[in-house]
Amino acid sequence: MSDRLLKIKFRATGSLALCGIALILSGCTLGPDFVRPQTPSTDHYNKKQDVTETVSVAGQTQHFALGVGPVANWWNLFQSKKLDAAVAEGINNNPSLVAAQANLRQSYDILQAGYGIYYPQVTAGAGASRQKSSPASLGSTSPSSIFNLTTVSASISYPLDIFGGERRAVENLESQVDIQRATVLVTYLALSGNIVNSIIAMAAYQEEINNTEQLIALQKEQIVIAENQSQAGTVSYDTVLTLRSQLASLEANLPPLRQKLDQAEHLLATLAGHIPSEWSPPNVLMSEIHLPDTLPLSLPSELVRQRPDILAAEAQMHAASANIGVATAAQFPSFTLNGTFGQGSSSLNGLFGQNSNFWSAGAGITTPLFNGGALSSKKKAAVDAYEQSKAIYRQTVLTAFAQVADTLRALEHDAEAMQAELKSVEISKEALHLAQINYQSGMINYLQVLADDVQYHQANISYLQAQAQRLQDTTALFTALGGGWWQTETYFGTEKR
């Protein structure tokens, strides 16, 4: 073999050795690298361009600030201190939020444990025993002996994560932390929205009950007058029966309203972390809850980066991606460096003598040869799970966009409905005023005045219902846009430790 050929062979062998050393020291990562999904290119939520403002109702118009996200404590915009206090109490005491925060802390701790794979594993041990040897087991005819053995040793091992399986496993743990962080935010967002909606519902139900009770009183007064007129022969008895039927219908409305009020109070107690029998709900009037004039409207590209449920779905995708790397690395060899050093002696005096030490150092390799296709199937399952997580993410985004689109249209139509209901109130009020004037002039009887008064109260109830719906749809917009959690200094226990 020529010298030139020897040199070429040496260089090739040396290059392979250097590559092998570089591979061991730096390692590589198998499986797809996770890339965040692209943000949508659309700039609006509805098929037609999103509205910039609603129609004016009683001199009030709601404007939508495009590209502006919700403020952190968005419920403050309703200008009710009692409502603010209820939300604060719920955030401090709600068991579901406390549980979600505990799960987040647990995921942090599991992640910290997972980081241990990056460091050598060192163990120490000591032992003392009394033993009897059996030379016969070694083919010797020497007599057996009894002796003491004392050992002190330390072992170190370090897995060489050449194919990145351990790193991808840690990446999965980091994604689990992101999932739990988003879960805390989902819980917080649902909690704050439900508390605000419960307060609005309680105020609306109580006012509707008050108006219904007033209607019942008016209806009873009408019946008394109608009965007297029927006995006098001025009206037919059919009029009395009609009024009694209307009274029965009004009275039948009260129990369901009271039940709904009780349910809202019980729900609010639960959200605030209290047993209903041991807690008194705040008494909030509808007049104390103000409709925000300016509403946020985040861009679609911003929504996917701020809604907690979308962030949770994205983190689940990341975790599934990391699992593909773990399953792929499991198909390749694994390498381990290990070493042991210790002292052993039959007496304590000689334990640390020069002749009493022992040590070992080495490297190990384990590689799968045959497993009946288990590892290949596990990788396919990991890929399938990743495809599933991608579909779930897309569905979550679609649902979020639909919720925002629905809420925007709802607010637009709420304003139109309130405008119509307000017109009905104004007309019925004017009709009642004219009836009162005509009654004072002797042109009509008092029964007609009461009838117009009933119409006026019914119009007020319808307007009240439309008002409550508009307030709750405003709440829905804040929550659909993510609630502004990212604008706080501490994310309700989700800040990294």
Q: What is the pLDDT of residues 367-400, one digit of tens each?
A: 999 888 999 999 999 999 999 999 999 999 999 9
Q: What is the pLDDT of residue 487?
A: 81
**CA 258/CA 208 separation, integer angstroms:** 10
End-to-end CA distance of the chain: 64
Nearest to 73 by CA among 60, 84, 61: 84
Question: What is the reported pLDDT for 24?
Answer: 47
Round to whole Å and give the CA distance between 29 and 34.
12
| Per-residue confidence (pLDDT) for residue 15, from 0 to 100 | 40
Q: What is the pLDDT, as a whole number, of residue 422?
A: 95
Q: What is the dihedral of CA 157, 163, 166, 167, to 10 degrees?
A: 120
Pick 23-120+161-334+373-487's CATH classification: 1.20.120.1760, 1.20.1600.10, 3.40.190.10, 3.40.50.720: 1.20.1600.10
Mean of all residue pLDDT scores within the chain? 88
Pick from 261, 260, 278: nearest CA to 269 = 278
Cα 395-396-399 angle, rounded to 5 deg: 85
DSSP letters of 166-177?
A: HHHHHHHHHHHH
Quote the pLDDT of residue 3.
43
- What pLDDT, on the 0 to 100 scale, is given for residue 131? 82
For the chain, what are the domain ranges? Answer: 23-120+161-334+373-487
Do you know the residue count of the chain? 497
Q: For residue range 117-134, list pLDDT tens digits in order.
A: 888 999 998 888 888 777
Q: How many CB atoms lie within 10 A of CB 115?
A: 11
- Cα dist. 340→129, 247, 336 in Å? 20, 93, 13
The ranges of the chain with pLDDT < 50 are 1-26, 496-497
The tokens for 438 are 């005509």
In 3-state terms, what secondary structure has residue 19? helix
Output the pLDDT for position 359: 85
Nearest to 451 by CA among 289, 306, 247: 247
